[in-house]
Amino acid sequence: MMKVDYQFDQMADRRIDHARKWDQKIIQSKYPGTPKDCIPMWIADMDFKAAPAIDEAFMKIAQNGAYGYTYAYDEFYEAVMNWHKHRHNNQVEKDWITLSYGTVSTIHYLYQAFCQPNDCVIMNTPVYDPFRYAAVHNGINVVANTLKLVAGRYEIDFDLLEEQLRTRRPKIFLFCSPHNPSGRMWELAEIKKVAQLCQQYGTIFVCDEVHSEIILSGKFISALQLPESYYDNLIVLTSPNKGFNLGGLKTSYSIIPNEQLRRTFCHRLEMNSITSPNLFGVVGIITAYNECEDWLDAMTDYIRENYRYTKEFIENNLPDWQLMEMSASYLPWIDISKTGKTALDIVEPLAKIGGVIIEPGTNYASDGENFVRLNIGTPKPILVEALNRIKAFMVKN
């Protein structure tokens, strides 16, 4: 097949989709006085145009001009099952799949389905903050299993984990795989150990695999690769939103092999009237999975080069910034403790004076005070300019 040149050096016009990432009103409310030409490297979406097949699929609907209530029809299930088999070697059955409105809201429904107020959930920290606040908003306690930083990469403290599972008896372990922040990919032995401990202590193993499509090095292993003996306790959450940059469609799905768990979860969805899905969301998933794999691979190559450039730039120009080795996604996680400053000391002046908006590690659930996160899902010329601005700022401050 002829390779298509997708032109990732060109950016989509982010005013048209009113992207939160670029919106001046939002930027100014958060960082008043930030220059108008600032470069946002914060909110996790990418600046590339989506795969052309997705535009065409949406245009077909728009040209027809009907936007009625829809449902999860057979093509959706087939696309999900085929994708998992082909891309991740996962054998998923149709009944296991449940469509819902984005992973974050699904986490809320899961907590509501399986926890009572004052119950606990456990997660590795630092972690994507909605894992935590979904619990807090539902009156559920969070047990933080702090990741250990060993030779520049995160490791799970299994002794502490076992102790926490035994003494706190959390209802759910919300596991992030690959992990956000850091893009650390877990190995099968690690996933299996977590699954084993969860099974032993009666904790439901929920695995968020949202970041599993952009793989920069190594091979992603899904929790669905575990032996079937773990399936009765397993819930996988995923979507093409990160990989194909479709977050605004607010559509995702869960994979729950066990019928009883699935029933309890689906009952909770019904109680929240999560029934008819977003018309474009379903089409987005089907088209991404059926027609856009070459776009995903080409985009991943582009991110890999952006990552190589970023790593080299930081090594050569920002000696006090330690970039953690990243295997997945487009969000490098940087330890800035050697600067003697905290993330908050850097992020606000960098926005207002330096003209680059990055994410402070404090926006993650626990243990991110000495980290900042960059978003390199952007055309390389923008990335180069942003890194030069960061260097100029850090030299002076």
Ligand X SMILES: Cc1ncc(COP(=O)(O)O)c(C=O)c1O
Count of chain residues binding ligand X (CB under 6 A)? 14
Burial, 166: exposed, middle or buried (Cβ in 10 Å; 0-12, 13-18, 19+)? exposed
Comparing CA positions, the residue from 235, 230, 115, 131 lying closest to residue 169 is 115
The residues that bridge with 172 in the sheet, in sequence order, are 121, 204
> What phi, psi does 179 have (nearest 5°)?
-80, 135
Residues 92-131 that bind ligand X (CB under 6 A): 102-104, 128
Sequence-ordered list of residues with C-beta below 8 angstroms from that of 177, at least 6 positions apart, any chain: 185, 186, 191, 207, 208, 209, 211, 212, 222, 223
| Least gap, CB of 34 to ligand X (angstroms) | 22
Residues 244-283 that bind ligand X (CB under 6 A): 247, 252
| Least gap, CB of 45 to ligand X (angstroms) | 8
| Least gap, CB of 110 to ligand X (angstroms) | 12
Sequence-ordered list of residues with C-beta below 8 angstroms from that of 157, at least 6 positions apart, any chain: 145, 146, 147, 148
The residues that bridge with 144 in the sheet, in sequence order, are 123
Q: For ligand X, which residue of 145, 241, 300, 327 counts as binding (CB under 6 A)? A: 241
> Would you say 142 or 394 has its CB closer to ligand X?
142
Where in 133-282 does DSSP place strands (E)? 141-146, 148-150, 153-155, 172-176, 204-208, 234-238, 252-255
The residues that bridge with 120 in the sheet, in sequence order, are 141
| Least gap, CB of 316 to ligand X (angstroms) | 29
Interface characters, 175-214, with ligand X (x: CB under 6 A):
-x---x---------------------------x-xx---
Interface characters, 43-82, with ligand X (x: CB under 6 A):
-x--------------------------------------
> Would you say 77 or 253 has its CB closer to ligand X?
253
> Would you say 126 or 379 has its CB closer to ligand X?
126
> What phi, psi does 194 have (nearest 5°)?
-65, -45
| Least gap, CB of 384 to ligand X (angstroms) | 24
| Least gap, CB of 26 to ligand X (angstroms) | 17
Cα dist from 209 to 19, 131, 222, 267, 273, whole Å: 24, 13, 7, 23, 25
> Would you say 119 or 208 has its CB closer to ligand X?
208
328 counts as binding ligand X under rule CB under 6 A? no
Residues that bind ligand X (CB under 6 A): 44, 102-104, 128, 176, 180, 208, 210-211, 239, 241, 247, 252
